[in-house]
A and B are shown apart, each in its own frame.
Chain A
Amino acid sequence: MITYIIRRLLMLVPVLVGLSLIVFFMIRAIPGNPAQVILGQLATKEAIDSLTKELGLNEPWYTQYFHYIGNLLTGDLGESLRTKNPISEELWPYLTATLELSLVAIIIAIVVGVNAGIISAWFQNSWFDYSAMLLALIGVSMPIFWLGLMEQWLFAIQWDILPTAGREDIRNPIDSITGLYIIDTLVQGKWDQFAVVIKHLALPSVALATIPMAIIARITRSSMLEVMRSDFIRTARAKGLRMFWVVYRHSLKNAVIPILTVIGLQFGVLLGGAILTETIFSWPGIGRYIYEAIGYRDYPVIQSGILIIALLFVCINLIVDLLYTVIDPRIKYNK
């Protein structure tokens, strides 16, 4: 097991190197010079040339790349071209903001999605099954942008019960400790602020959860259906076991592997792909951070930001792989 983990961690290295190369070249392939963007429309050619030089962008690509990798190895993510601040410092609050949103969203997606899938499979071809799967279909194809604005319109403007923007009441800001506001407010025992945080999370996390929820529900249903047709389930039922236990214990346990895989993938997607939700709900997350960096051709921020997300993605997948062994003892990573 330990050797397996070590091997997987070692495999991270080529993945990250490959990824850094792809990102490195891709962002340089798009037209537009960071110096030009930073200096704005008015800039003269001399100023652009001189800033290009100062930023080291006139060096050959391999010098730039190895310089970047060298810094990375010492834990230095580089400096934003635009704000001149160290990225490691800048990144943290954005990362925690996205993490909190994605975690809540994936929990909602799992709780609702898995249960909807199970019940659909249990009562296959019932009205619940049909409507749940229709909803899932709508969910998968729902434009988040539209959904977000509709949520705002209904819950914030019509009913006036939930806020539309940001993570906190900015007239009464939260003292950040970890950057995960749910934890921060709980630790400080500020219950009113905790409630404010939850309220701010409600709309964006539901919007963000919609697609993964639908995907999880569909996978759960099909995986469960397959298991429930197998012999041991028939035996269990023949024994007179209550249907609830047959479904939730015997069937789910055997159906959970593909569900887990999808959850892992979806969670990874949420981390990097929350950008639309983050934009509509003014959530200061990492998706928006990178998106804005692309607009400014802020190469180091794009590179490091994507690298961090990729790292998280790979780690989540590793955790999922390890969870397989916990759930299904037949799976072993000894060799």
Chain B
Amino acid sequence: MKRKKWSFGLFILSLAIMMTLAGCSSSEKADGNGEKGSTLVFARGGDSVSLDPAIVTDGESFKVTQNIFDTLILFGKQNTELEPGLATEWSTSEDGLTYTLKLREGVKFHDGTDFNSEAVKVNFERWKSGNEEKFYYYNSQFGDVIEQINTPDEYTVEFKLKRPLAPFFKNLAMSPFAIASPKALKEQGDKFGDHPVGTGAFKFDEWKRNDRITVTKNEDYWNEGRPKLNEVIFTVIPENSARLNALKTGEADLIDGVNFSEVESIENDPNLKTFFRPSLNVAYVGLTTTRGPLKDKKVRQALNYAVDKEALLKTFYAGEGQVAANPMPPVVEGYNKDLNPYPYDPKKAKEILKEAGYEDGFEIELWAMPVPRPYMPDGQKIAEAVQSNFADIGVKANIKTYEWATYLEKARLGEADSFLLGWTGDNGDADNFLYVLLDEDAIGSNNYTYYKNPEVHKLLLEAQSTIDKEKRNELYNKAQEIIKDDAPWIPLVHSKPALAGNKTIEGFAPHPTGSDRLDTVEIKQ
């Protein structure tokens, strides 16, 4: 008897579910709530780690903090030129040791605290006093170079440096150096990342981890007439195709991480449009200079000639972006315009291999990235294309792959012969590409190819403390020349990461750094 009741109960329940479902489908799009025009749902692949920009390193965190906070100096709309932010003017002393900023007056933090020179000082003192693992970006960009922070009056800040730091102002525009409310920092302590308070266009409202972050309009924003939206919801949809589906159904208004293979179908959809992020990245095949035949510069050059980068760009990147000649994209100042990519020339590649004594080719490992990145949409397929290019000149490449963290760790230890990888710049400075990726100091961290050239090292160090623009660019130009000849990489492409949104979205301009300010975005019905 008991059993009968049980199965009857299930029957009723299933009936109820079906009926509710049937009922729901007739009520068509009851959700949406009519307020859609003022709320933007931005769907992305992963959640933020913390909303305290000073302590994080991941792009998904900056994507949100960039809208809650302001930096002293802002990057241009779609470039890394400098524009006034919380500071209206800035200047450097003759000797390159004193940097002065005039601050914007009348700005308030979301909690009502005044923004002034004291607030700036509190933030810098906080970063300065912390250790490297806590304030990672502060230490990597400024280290111990800031000796003193002076506040001659309420709206002037003066930094005294121990030695000249060429990218000082550029660094100030980076998302991690956003100014937080001193009062909230004190009150929240370690929990500040869960309750961020800044001066930005949007106020923090709610965070449901791995699901959504909601920010609402800051009515008293200093930049009048902005923001145009009432609310932005950053939501997480991990799978690329599912994210696109959510855009098509209207559950999301704007999505990033669009597969290049889907760009065409989006552009053909009358309700949708695509956006392309200006490239601040590079995708490359690393050729570990300490392993087997790759020790020979000639071999590395031959491999450079062997790869058809143009075809890669067309096939895997929707043709958006450009073939890479240098380890950094052209928007970066100091880019060497006179250098051209190694042309696709398998015949020449074979000749060089012959010269190097590898007439019959050789066998190497080629590692394929297991995760998609804007610069590497499909590691496996790109590896296969490179593999067949290599095969054409008699080099047998065996494709291998590991789970992502393992991949990076093993590559860092120099265990890969050749491997796919890439880099997205943080601040658009040449140092952030060349020194970080190819200097001998970076061996064991980001110089995965173990490339070492004393001359390049000298040039890169000198550029770090050269304030004069022309001279600095010259140093970087020279370094790129040598790097191209040494060929520790096969630079592949500078991609333009694709985003997609509803047709009604206007004023959205994706920023090369990947941190978008949404204050100019509006939804036109």
B445 CB within 8 Å of chain A: yes
Given A32-B406, A170-B235, does the pair A107, B32 have CB atoms closer than 8 Å? Answer: no
Q: How far is the CA of A249 from the CA of B5 in the complex (A)?
A: 11
Tell me how far the C-beta of A91 lies from the nearest C-beta in chain B, rounded to whole angstroms.
10
User: CB-CB < 8 A to A93: which residues of B?
Assistant: 208-209
Chain B's closest residue to A114 (CB) is: B7
User: CB-CB < 8 A to A195: which residues of B?
Assistant: 20, 23-24, 27, 30
Interface string of A267-308 (1 = CB under 8 A from B): 000000000000111101000110010011100000000000
Tell me how far the C-beta of B194 lies from the nearest C-beta in chain A, rounded to whole angstroms.
8
User: CB-CB < 8 A to B410: which residues of A?
Assistant: 31
Tell me how far the C-beta of A118 lies from the nearest C-beta in chain B, rounded to whole angstroms.
10
Q: Which of B5-57 contact A (CB under 8 A)?
A: 7, 10-11, 13-14, 17, 20-21, 23-25, 27-33, 35-36, 39, 41, 43, 46, 49-50, 57
B144 CB within 8 Å of chain A: no
User: CB-CB < 8 A to B508: which residues of A?
Assistant: none
Chain A's closest residue to B233 (CB) is: A170
User: CB-CB < 8 A to B406: which residues of A?
Assistant: 30-32
Given A32-B409, A33-B409, does the pair A252, B10 have CB atoms closer than 8 Å? Answer: no
Q: How far is the CA of A35 from the CA of B131 in the complex (A)?
A: 14
Q: How far is the CA of A202 from the CA of B23 in the complex (A)?
A: 13
Q: How far is the CA of A328 from the CA of B46 in the complex (A)?
A: 49
Tell me how far the C-beta of A284 lies from the nearest C-beta in chain B, rounded to whole angstroms.
4
Q: Which of A6-52 contact B (CB under 8 A)?
A: 30-33, 35-37, 39-48, 50-51
Interface contact B233-A40, CB-CB below 8 Å = no
Cβ contact of A42, chosen from B2, B133, B446, cutoff 8 A: B446
User: CB-CB < 8 A to A108: which residues of B?
Assistant: 14, 17
Q: How far is the CA of A165 from the CA of B405 in the complex (A)?
A: 27
Tell me how far the C-beta of B451 lies from the nearest C-beta in chain A, rounded to whole angstroms.
16
User: CB-CB < 8 A to A43: which residues of B?
Assistant: 136, 445
User: CB-CB < 8 A to B233: which residues of A?
Assistant: 170-171
A157 CB within 8 Å of chain B: yes
Interface contact A83-B210, CB-CB below 8 Å = no
Interface size class of A (residues with CB under 8 A): 35 or more
Q: How far is the CA of A245 from the CA of B131 in the complex (A)?
A: 75
B436 CB within 8 Å of chain A: yes
A169 CB within 8 Å of chain B: yes
Chain B's closest residue to A165 (CB) is: B246
Interface centre among A84, A171, A326, A327 (most CB of B within 10 A): A171
Interface centre among A30, A35, A40 (most CB of B within 10 A): A40
Given A171-B39, A172-B33, does the pair A199, B238 have CB atoms closer than 8 Å? Answer: no
B3 CB within 8 Å of chain A: yes
Tell me how far the C-beta of A256 lies from the nearest C-beta in chain B, rounded to whole angstroms.
7
Tell me how far the C-beta of B477 lies from the nearest C-beta in chain A, rounded to whole angstroms.
24
Given A51-B133, A107-B14, A253-B3, does the pair A198, B30 have CB atoms closer than 8 Å? Answer: no
Chain A's closest residue to B371 (CB) is: A295
Cβ contact of B57, chosen from A35, A39, A44, A194, cutoff 8 A: A39
Among A133-141, A148-156, A217-225, A233-241, the stretch in contact with B? A148-156
User: CB-CB < 8 A to A199: which residues of B?
Assistant: 21, 24
User: CB-CB < 8 A to A169: which residues of B?
Assistant: 31-33
Chain B's closest residue to A289 (CB) is: B210
B444 CB within 8 Å of chain A: yes
A212 CB within 8 Å of chain B: no
Chain A's closest residue to B11 (CB) is: A111
Given A40-B136, A171-B36, A202-B21, does the pair A164, B242 have CB atoms closer than 8 Å? Answer: yes
Interface contact B133-A171, CB-CB below 8 Å = no
Interface contact A164-B246, CB-CB below 8 Å = yes
User: CB-CB < 8 A to B246: which residues of A?
Assistant: 163-165, 282
User: CB-CB < 8 A to B136: which residues of A?
Assistant: 39-40, 42-43, 47
User: CB-CB < 8 A to A162: which residues of B?
Assistant: 25
Tell me how far the C-beta of A302 lies from the nearest C-beta in chain B, rounded to whole angstroms.
12
A166 CB within 8 Å of chain B: yes
Interface contact A171-B32, CB-CB below 8 Å = yes
Interface string of A243-257 (1 = CB under 8 A from B): 000001100110010
Interface contact A198-B33, CB-CB below 8 Å = no
Where chain A touches its partner, the secondary structure class is helix
Interface contact A171-B41, CB-CB below 8 Å = yes
Tell me how far the C-beta of B247 lies from the nearest C-beta in chain A, rounded to whole angstroms.
9
B481 CB within 8 Å of chain A: no
Q: How far is the CA of A248 from the CA of B7 in the complex (A)?
A: 10
Q: How far is the CA of A196 from the CA of B23 in the complex (A)?
A: 11
User: CB-CB < 8 A to B242: which residues of A?
Assistant: 148-149, 152, 164-165, 279-282
Interface contact A249-B405, CB-CB below 8 Å = no
A76 CB within 8 Å of chain B: no
Interface contact A50-B133, CB-CB below 8 Å = yes
Q: How far is the CA of A185 from the CA of B139 in the complex (A)?
A: 48
A73 CB within 8 Å of chain B: no
Interface string of A43-67 (1 = CB under 8 A from B): 1111110110010000000000000
Interface contact A157-B249, CB-CB below 8 Å = yes
B465 CB within 8 Å of chain A: no
User: CB-CB < 8 A to A165: which residues of B?
Assistant: 43, 235, 237, 242-243, 245-246, 251-252
Interface contact B445-A42, CB-CB below 8 Å = yes
Q: How far is the CA of A157 from the CA of B211 in the complex (A)?
A: 22
Given A31-B410, A50-B131, A164-B245, does the pair A282, B57 have CB atoms closer than 8 Å? Answer: no
A226 CB within 8 Å of chain B: no
A94 CB within 8 Å of chain B: yes
Interface contact A42-B57, CB-CB below 8 Å = yes
B184 CB within 8 Å of chain A: no
Q: How far is the CA of A259 from the CA of B39 in the complex (A)?
A: 49
User: CB-CB < 8 A to A282: which residues of B?
Assistant: 235-239, 242, 246
Q: How far is the CA of A149 from the CA of B244 in the complex (A)?
A: 11
Tell me how far the C-beta of B89 lies from the nearest C-beta in chain A, rounded to whole angstroms.
31
Tell me how far the C-beta of A300 lies from the nearest C-beta in chain B, rounded to whole angstroms.
15
User: CB-CB < 8 A to B14: which residues of A?
Assistant: 107-108, 111
Tell me how far the C-beta of B361 lies from the nearest C-beta in chain A, rounded to whole angstroms.
31
Q: Which of B227-280 contact A (CB under 8 A)?
A: 233, 235-239, 241-243, 245-246, 248-249, 251-252
Interface contact B239-A280, CB-CB below 8 Å = yes
Interface string of A100-140 (1 = CB under 8 A from B): 00001001101100100000000000000000000000000
Contact sample, A vs B, 25 pairs, CB 8 Å cutoff:
A36-B405, A37-B405, A41-B445, A42-B436, A43-B136, A44-B132, A44-B140, A90-B209, A108-B17, A152-B245, A156-B245, A161-B24, A161-B25, A164-B245, A164-B251, A165-B245, A170-B235, A173-B212, A195-B23, A198-B17, A249-B3, A282-B237, A282-B238, A295-B403, A295-B404
The 7 closest A-B pairs by CB, nearest first: A32-B405, A169-B31, A51-B133, A40-B57, A161-B25, A282-B237, A47-B132
Task: For the A-B complex with A279-B238, A282-B239 known, give 19 more contacts whose Cβ atoms are closer than 8 Å.
Answer: A39-B133, A43-B136, A44-B445, A47-B132, A83-B50, A111-B14, A149-B245, A152-B242, A163-B251, A164-B246, A164-B251, A165-B235, A165-B242, A170-B211, A171-B41, A198-B17, A249-B4, A252-B7, A279-B239
